[in-house]
């Protein structure tokens, strides 16, 4: 068995055996198979794809390259949740607290943001003192106390994925549904929760731009999880426009907390309740109607907020932000964009808003770049709103950018609106 034969088979769309895929993954992870041969195979996969069986084999081989967590010390059924990434997506903070308050444990290892999409770890680290690098024992102890904990992924989890993803990024082979599936699912299966809820984002601000591609990825990830013996459900949610009104780390924490305080409803609330209900139903708590009611009650009663507050405290963070979100860090500079005339908002491009937030310092282009936790954008509208001339459209925030001219133009151009006749709102 050798890498050249494996590359040739994939180039000719001849399915690989489990042994051949494991040989390739283990050989590349150990350094026995060089970058140029693995790059050739990845490109062949991008061009010809993999079968469902090959994708499952690749996922398992990548999972088995490192540690697999044993969550048996957690005294509740466990549900992990994964989002494929988007703009303004703070649902993990909300749904994790809701589901935990309903009696199901949510132990989660999460990542940092890259490009225009945010990361849950960055959001949590915007809270003063919050520690994301915990030992496994500390992690599971917190889950047993509150039902909810989010920490950063350990270096011993799926080293094959880390090495393969870096090569995909350098070789232009990121946009392959089987490779995306294997990357996500290897990490999720290594975390080893009882159940897995996959939130596949679709639209301008997501990696999956079309409904068709989102459905392909969702179906493939479900089948891959199920072939590994895991209960799994994938849902597709819209990311054509930002999720909620806030984009940026501390701004998104503020919005998540205020939703759990019962101060806001709308699209973010509806999707958070939907995701939470799906997680609860997957865990066997009840049917979807019963689980929806439980999720709504967790917010209205304040129990979900209490879980989040105690989780933040146990992570060493300033939990008083759950009582007063003004205690979150604030930017030194801000710039408000106003409506140039009476307009109706037709749509907003999530990717462009995400890129504007990135330029303000809220995100990073490379994995090791520092970020400004205070930076971001707060929208003052929803799609369909009618806005009077000179009313605020959005406000930009940053500690590191004081000249907002470039980002303001990008953010303004993300809005698609029509002028209302005669400056009269109708």
Catalytic residue among 187, 223, 335, 352: 187
Among the listed residues 161, 238, 240, 278, the single catalytic one is 161
In which residue are the tokens 């980002």 written?
Answer: 407
Q: How far is residue 8's CA from residue 401's CA, in Å, rounded to a whole number?
A: 50
Q: Hunting for tokens 């949510």 — which residue is that?
A: 106
Burial 85-100 (b: 16+ CB within 10 A, else e): bbbbbbbbbbbbbbbb
183 is an active site residue:
yes
The single residue of 183, 186, 204, 272 carrying the catalytic annotation is 183
Q: Which residues pair with 336 in a beta bridge?
A: 395
Q: Say how far apart CA 17 and CA 15 lie, in whole Å.
A: 7
Q: Please pick, among 168, 201, 254, 309, the residue that the annotation labels catalytic.
A: 168
Q: Say how far apart CA 159 and CA 64 lie, in whole Å.
A: 9
Q: How far is CA 234 from the centre of its chain?
A: 14
Residue whose C-alpha is closest to residue 63's, from 156, 158, 154, 155: 158
Count of other CB atoms within 10 angstroms of residue 422: 8
Contact between 125 and 147 under an 8 Å Cβ cutoff? The reply is no
> Could you say which of 63, 82, 112, 123 is catalytic?
82
CB 314 within 8 A of CB 146: yes
Residues acting as catalytic residues:
82, 161, 168, 183, 187
């Amino acid at each position: 068995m050798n890498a050249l034969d494996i590359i040739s088979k994939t180039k000719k769309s001849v399915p690989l055996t489990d042994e051949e895929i494991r040989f390739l993954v283990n050989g590349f992870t150990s350094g026995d198979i060089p970058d140029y041969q693995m790059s050739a195979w990845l490109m062949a996969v991008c061009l010809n794809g993999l079968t469902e069986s090959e994708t499952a084999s690749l996922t398992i081989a990548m999972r088995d390259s490192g540690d697999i967590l044993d969550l048996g010390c957690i005294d509740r059924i466990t549900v992990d949740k994964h989002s494929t990434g988007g703009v303004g997506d703070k649902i993990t903070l909300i749904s994790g607290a809701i589901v935990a308050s309903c009696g199901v444990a949510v132990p989660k290892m999460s990542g940092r943001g890259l490009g225009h999409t945010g990361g849950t770890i960055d959001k949590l680290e915007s809270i003063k003192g919050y520690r994301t690098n915990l030992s496994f024992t500390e992690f599971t102890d917190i889950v047993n106390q509150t039902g909810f904990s989010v920490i950063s992924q350990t270096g011993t989890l799926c080293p094959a994925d880390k090495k393969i993803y870096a090569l995909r990024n350098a070789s232009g082979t990121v946009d392959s549904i089987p490779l995306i599936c294997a990357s996500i699912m290897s990490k999720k299966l290594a975390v080893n929760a009882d159940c897995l809820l996959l939130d596949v984002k679709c639209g301008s601000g997501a990696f999956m731009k079309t409904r068709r591609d989102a459905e392909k990825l969702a179906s493939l990830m479900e089948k891959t999880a199920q072939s590994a013996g895991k209960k799994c459900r994938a849902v597709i949610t819209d990311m054509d426009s930002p999720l909620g009104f806030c984009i940026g780390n501390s701004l998104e924490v503020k919005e998540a907390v205020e939703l759990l305080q019962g101060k806001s409803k709308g699209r973010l609330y509806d999707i958070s309740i939907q995701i939470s209900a799906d997680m609860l139903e997957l865990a066997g708590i009840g049917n979807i109607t019963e689980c929806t009611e439980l999720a709504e009650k967790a917010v209205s009663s304040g129990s979900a907020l209490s879980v989040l507050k105690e989780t933040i405290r146990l992570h060493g963070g300033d939990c008083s932000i759950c009582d007063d979100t003004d205690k979150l860090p604030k930017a030194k500079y801000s710039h408000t964009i106003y409506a140039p005339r009476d307009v109706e908002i037709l749509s907003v491009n999530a990717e462009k808003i995400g890129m504007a937030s990135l330029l303000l310092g809220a995100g990073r282009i490379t994995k090791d770049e520092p970020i400004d936790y205070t930076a971001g954008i707060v929208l003052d509208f929803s799609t369909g709103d009618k806005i009077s001339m000179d009313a605020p459209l959005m406000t930009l925030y940053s500690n590191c950018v004081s000249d907002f001219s470039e980002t303001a133009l990008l953010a303004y151009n993300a809005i698609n609106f029509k002028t209302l006749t005669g400056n009269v709102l109708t």
